[in-house]
Structure 1
Amino acid sequence: MAGVFDRIVKQQDMDETSEEGPPNQFQEQAPQVQENEALDAAGEEINTEATARTDVKLREVAQELLRMGLLEETQRPHLYRAALVAMARLNATLEPLDLIARADEVRGLVFLAVRPGDTDEPQDDWSHPLVRKQRLNLEQTLLVAILRQYFIAHEQDAGTGAGDAMVAVDELIPQMQVYLGESGSEARERTRALQLLDQLKGHGLVSAPDSHERVAIRPMIAHLANPENLTALLYELKARVAAESSDHGENAP
């Protein structure tokens, strides 16, 4: 027979079991609820990121501008029109990069330029407008000045924005000789001219030579550099060549 102590212990066990009661179903559901809430929050975050992304067409425009530096209506008409329509949003996208898109609708051109800084430091007139650290060397700048003269003359005859400004490589060689002097080798002069044209093609200023060795002058050349500075450069180089020729004449026996 169970003693008094055993009965007391048994009664205490029964009381504790009664106080605990059946398992709380809300406590069992709590982990599942928390998991569902976490999934919902993650889904909302993904949707927010997708909504915050820049429009696909605007991204294509910005990426092409950063890749090439310009958009021509004749070459990329859809992106060119998209850039014009969304110019304000495009420039908001480019602002953190200190770049700004500018439009020349007369010539069918959208191009990148360095956004004016907050400082009063003067801009380097010889720096390339598309890339802050990329500069044209003396021979490239000279060829730009010569090509620009051809381009402006073509627009004066055919009207601003008129395309098909063409020039033959053979026309450029004697022009460059006026300012750089002659090397004494026609083959070397032609090679130099073709190399410089190929370099300027990378800046979107000319096309590749066609079967007749003519290049098309692209409208971007109208915005590349200050025309007054280019003209001053031509005068300076011409004066330098004239002075060197005079020195050679005086030193000749």
Structure 2
Amino acid sequence: MTYEDWQAPAPADESEASGIPAEVKALAQELLKNGFIESSARPADFNAVLRLRKEIDAVLEPLDLRIDLDEMRGLAVLRVADSASGTPDEAWSHPLVRRQRLTLEQSLLVAILRQFHVVQELEGGIGVREVRVPLDELLSQLQVFLTDTGSDTKNRQRLLTLLDQLKPHGIVSEPDSRGEVTIRPLITRLANPETLTALLKHFRELAGEPEGNETTSPDE
């Protein structure tokens, strides 16, 4: 028998050998790779997570991880399990997950973006897929708290730079041709809402802006 005639037997599927269905394994790997699955971007995968949540959690459980599922916003986020972190608000460390550290300016912009998102959800209901905000509105809000550079061009470029730095976190899109950015639902899971509200309040006090502009999330 020549080499060309012989074919090696196909290796056994690793998921079958481990008893884990291939679809469950693929979804768990996707969550481990990206940290979240968003229904607006990957509807089929998100629906599969809804259907296979218990099975995926069973795969993640030995890693001290779990799925944080927000069906109304169409969002599945990978989280450190409470058993590993104590409580969600306590300090924790995990060999596969690292905390994302934001600068003060980045944190301020996140707080402003989240406030825009919350306002639109209050007006249109939770689960609004496209929450857009004009760059000019973001810039006017940001300028209340940050020192004016003395140049409109530099002020705008500072905003664009901050937005570009936040894009890898999956919370905001590239500005479109209309000069708007889309605030993605992941922003509701990025940081503690009380911390962001306190940050805005502190900056408003420093800027001498009157109180009463804080907004709470409709699901809190």
The two structures share one fold, judged by TM-score above 0.5: yes
SS in 1 for 2:170: coil
**Which of the residues 44, 47, 68 maps onto 1:81?**
47
SS in 1 for 2:102: coil
Paired residues for 1:145-184 under 5 Å: 145-184=111-150
- Report the Cα offset of residue 98 of structure 1: 2.7
Q: Which runs of 4+ in 1 moved over 6 A?
A: none
> What's the counterpart of residue 51 of structure 1?
17
> What's the counterpart of residue 139 of structure 1?
105
TM-score (norm 1): 0.69
Q: Is this contact kept in 2: 1:107–1:219, CA < 8 A?
A: yes
> What's the counterpart of residue 162 of structure 2?
196
- Report the Cα offset of residue 180 of structure 1: 1.9
**Structure with the largest fraction of helix:** 1
Change in 2 beyond 3 A, CA 1:169/1:88: same
Q: Is this contact kept in 1: 2:40–2:129, CA < 8 A?
A: no
Q: Is this contact kept in 1: 2:38–2:76, CA < 8 A?
A: yes
SS in 2 for 1:134: coil
Give the number of aligned pairs.
197
Identical positions, percent? 45
> What's the counterpart of residue 78 of structure 2?
112
**Which of the residues 156, 164, 189 maps onto 1:223?**
189
Larger radius of gyration: 1
SS in 1 for 2:78: strand
Change in 2 beyond 3 A, CA 1:95/1:178: same
Distance 2:139 2:13 in 1: 60
- Report the Cα offset of residue 217 of structure 1: 0.8
SS in 1 for 2:195: helix
Give ranges in structure 2 of 5+ residues lacking alignment: 1-8, 209-220
- Report the Cα offset of residue 103 of structure 1: 0.9
Q: Is this contact kept in 2: 1:99–1:113, CA < 8 A?
A: yes
Q: Is this contact kept in 1: 2:15–2:22, CA < 8 A?
A: no
Change in 2 beyond 3 A, CA 1:137/1:97: farther
Q: Is this contact kept in 2: 1:114–1:132, CA < 8 A?
A: no
Aligned-residue CA RMSD (Å): 2.8
Q: Does 1:212 align with 2:160?
A: no
- Report the Cα offset of residue 111 of structure 1: 1.0
- Amino acid of the structure 2 residue aligned with 1:102: D
Distance 2:14 2:205 in 1: 64
TM-score (norm 2): 0.79
Distance 1:201 1:195 in 2: 10
Q: Which moved more, 1:137-146 or 1:50-59?
A: 50-59
**Which of the residues 222, 225, 237 maps onto 2:203?**
237
Q: Is this contact kept in 1: 2:16–2:22, CA < 8 A?
A: no
Change in 2 beyond 3 A, CA 1:157/1:133: closer
